[in-house]
Amino acid sequence: GAVVSQHPSWVICKSGTSVKIECRSLDFQATTMFWYRQFPKQSLMLMATSNEGSKATYEQGVEKDKFLINHASLTLSTLTVTSAHPEDSSFYICSARTGQGLNEQFFGPGTRLTVL
Amino acid sequence: AQSVTQPDIHITVSEGASLELRCNYSYGATPYLFWYVQSPGQGLQLLLKYFSGDTLVQGIKGFEAEFKRSQSSVNLRKPSVHWSDAAEYFCAVGAGQAGTALIFGKGTTLSVSS
């Protein structure tokens, strides 16, 4: 149980285009989902927290107009990287909370974004 | 400010030898502590978590961690390492409030030599 999927697992796009990454909780309802960014050999940095049906809360330094997050349902959150540039190339990971259990999150496998 | 420090970037251990990965945290209240493992192409998998109670916590895959409040540490241990344990290990701290995100350390890469 408690499986989180991400799609796509990897994507290559041209500079200036937009890319959408999906995060789904497959067997539970996720009241809260998180989006992290991981640079090579670095830790996971929280980008934003999203609650179903409300606006995402972005961490300091994260451009909300560039990284659009939509948590439209209890099983789906999307991250759209708008007007992507090479510096946006990274590994994006989502996680989801079940709403039960103290602060336990379940992580997706990540999406590797490469912007040419 | 909350922070997590994993002082060892890379550790190599012989197969069958014991393992200890260090983690120190800075947190204003009683922390909720986690250890995750990340293998290539896979998501983070929870090894164990500490919320309260016994300071020695048992996890999956034969891992355990000892929480030492006086040292603000929660080191991960395994008595005998297997080659399949080679991966990236992350320590994380979270607040007690529901919905709060985790703060991760930079991770320790574990290599296992034969």
Residues of A in contact with B2 (CB under 8 A): none
What percent of chain A has pLDDT above 90? Answer: 67
In the chain, the amino acid numbered A6 is: Q
Interface touch A102/B106, C-beta < 8 Å: no
**What does each C-alpha distance from A39 to A44, A86, A96 come to in angstroms?**
8, 13, 20
Nearest to A109 among B43, B102, B106 (CB): B43
A6, A108 Cβ separation under 8 angstroms = yes
CB spacing of A99 vs B94 below 8 angstroms: no
- Residue B106's closest chain A neighbor by CA? A43
Beta bridge partners of A81: A19, A67
Give the DSSP letter of residue A55: P
CB atoms within 10 A of CB A78: 19
Does B99 score more than 60 pLDDT? no
In this predicted structure, the answer to whether residue A98 has a pLDDT above a threshold of 90 is: no
CA distance B89 to B39: 9
What confidence category does residue A69 fall into, taking pLDDT thresholds of 50, 70 and 90? very high
Pick the range with the lowest mean pLDDT from B42-56, B67-81, B86-100.
B86-100
Q: Which chain B positions have a beta carbon within 8 Å of A95's beta carbon?
A: 44
Residue B63 has, within 13 A of its CA and on its CB side, a CA count of 23
Q: CB neighbours (10 Å) of residue B105? A: 24
Rounded Cα gap, residues A57 and A50, in angstroms: 6
Is the Cβ pair B41, A109 closer than 8 Å? Answer: yes
Most distant CA atoms of chain B, gap in Å: 44
Measured CB to CB, residues of chain B less than 8 Å from chain A are 9, 32, 36, 41-46, 49, 51, 90, 94-107, 109
Query: How many DSSP H helices and E strands does chain A contain?
Result: 0, 11
Interval A5-64: pLDDT, tens: 999 999 999 999 999 999 999 988 888 899 999 987 788 999 999 888 888 999 999 999
Give the tokens for residue B44: 């983070």
Using a CB-CB cut-off of 8 Å, the residues of chain B touching A104 are 46, 49
Q: Which of B113, B112, B109 is nearest to B10 (CA)?
A: B109
Q: For the residues B35-50, what does the mean pLDDT come to? A: 87
pLDDT band at A100 (very low <50, low <70, confident <90, very high): low
Would you place residue B80 in the very low, low, confident or very high pLDDT band (cuts 50, 70, 90)? very high
DSSP single-letter state for residue B70 = G
Residue B29, pLDDT score: 72
Q: Has residue A99 got a pLDDT over 80? A: no
Instruction: Answer yes or no: do B46 and A104 touch at CB < 8 A.
Output: yes
A72: left (phi over 0), alpha (psi -120 to 50) or beta: alpha
